[in-house]
């Protein structure tokens, strides 16, 4: 049995970072995607990452980013984990892992069982998979849309690597999502915001409490 891992994604202010770290979460996500309301500049990301270092794993979230930009994030922000949330191939994930000597988490968008096949390829090269809902038609964002998918699809999934559950989670549904999916790790962004891109510390607190209310889950 192991404790649940909790990631709060899309942190963009020092106040939110401090409050989130005070809750003892496991991972904090910084979004590097200019179209996102959660996008952070490199300067702000460095400040936020320095606050988190040694307290929570710093996750740099990128979408189909070119190698020069990835290298700049790696050098300046020094994240613990790269989260690839676009159409990065398994080969690109493997190359980044070797080049930066960092863990790689690959997002896989799910709407039905057939989407899980993609996860098998990524589970060979990535350290962890992040299951998210498919973005609604017309959305500018490949993630962070506050949309759920059928959590039962993940129950008893036999993968070589652990997964993190995301997509539309909030304090009211995270316990049920963990129970139905068998997840040992959860990730949230919209569900802890008062408006798009603006985190709400009380909602983060409620989310963490609700997630931790579920009995310890089977180990990774």
Ligand X SMILES: O=C(O)c1ccccc1NCC(=O)[C@H](O)[C@H](O)COP(=O)(O)O
- Residues engaged in binding ligand X (CB under 6 A): 9-10, 29, 31, 33, 36, 38, 61, 63, 85, 132, 141-147, 166-169, 187-191
For ligand X, the closer CB: 34 or 219:
34
β-strand partners of 133: 110
For ligand X, the closer CB: 86 or 90:
86
User: Beta-carbon neighbour count of residue 197 at 10 Å?
Assistant: 16
Q: How far is the CB of 168 from ligand X (least distance, A)?
A: 5
β-strand partners of 131: 108, 165
For ligand X, the closer CB: 33 or 122:
33
Q: How far is CA 115 from CA 66, 128, 164, 171, 209, in A?
A: 26, 16, 16, 26, 31
- Helix H or strand E encompassing 14: helix 14-22
Q: How far is the CB of 1 from ligand X (least distance, A)?
A: 26
For ligand X, the closer CB: 85 or 199:
85
Q: How far is the CB of 79 from ligand X (least distance, A)?
A: 13
Answer yes or no: are the C-beta atoms of 90 and 124 closer than 8 Å.
Answer: yes
Going by C-alpha positions, the residue among 134, 49, 46, 48 that lies closest to residue 85 is 134
**How many whole angstroms separate alpha carbon 130 and alpha carbon 47?**
26
Going by C-alpha positions, the residue among 152, 208, 197, 147 that lies closest to residue 177 is 152
Q: How far is the CB of 60 from ligand X (least distance, A)?
A: 11
Q: How far is the CB of 185 from ligand X (least distance, A)?
A: 12
**How many whole angstroms separate alpha carbon 96 and alpha carbon 122?**
13
- Helix H or strand E encompassing 59: strand 57-62
What's the distance, CA 52 to chain centroid?
A: 16
For ligand X, the closer CB: 61 or 183:
61
């Amino acid at each position: 049995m192991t404790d649940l891992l909790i990631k709060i994604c899309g942190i963009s202010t020092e106040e939110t970072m401090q409050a989130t770290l005070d809750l003892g979460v496991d991972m904090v996500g910084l979004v590097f995607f200019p179209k996102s309301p959660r996008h952070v500049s490199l300067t702000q990301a460095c400040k936020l990452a320095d606050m988190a270092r040694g307290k929570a794993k710093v996750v740099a979230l990128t979408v189909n980013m070119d190698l020069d930009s990835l290298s700049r994030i790696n050098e300046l922000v020094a994240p613990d984990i790269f989260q690839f949330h676009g159409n990065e191939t398994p080969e690109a994930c493997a190359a980044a892992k070797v080049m930066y000597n960092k863990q790689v988490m690959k997002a896989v968008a799910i709407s039905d069982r057939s989407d899980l096949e993609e996860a098998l390829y990524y589970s060979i090269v990535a350290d962890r998979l992040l299951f998210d809902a498919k973005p609604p038609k017309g959305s500018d964002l490949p993630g962070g849309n506050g949309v759920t998918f059928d959590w039962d699809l993940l129950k008893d999934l036999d993968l070589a690597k652990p997964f993190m559950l995301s997509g539309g989670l909030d304090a009211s549904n995270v316990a049920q999502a963990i129970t139905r999916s068998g997840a040992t790790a959860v990730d949230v962004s919209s569900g802890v915001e008062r408006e798009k891109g603006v985190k709400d510390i009380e909602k983060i607190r409620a989310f963490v409490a609700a997630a931790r209310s579920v009995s310890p889950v089977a180990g990774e």
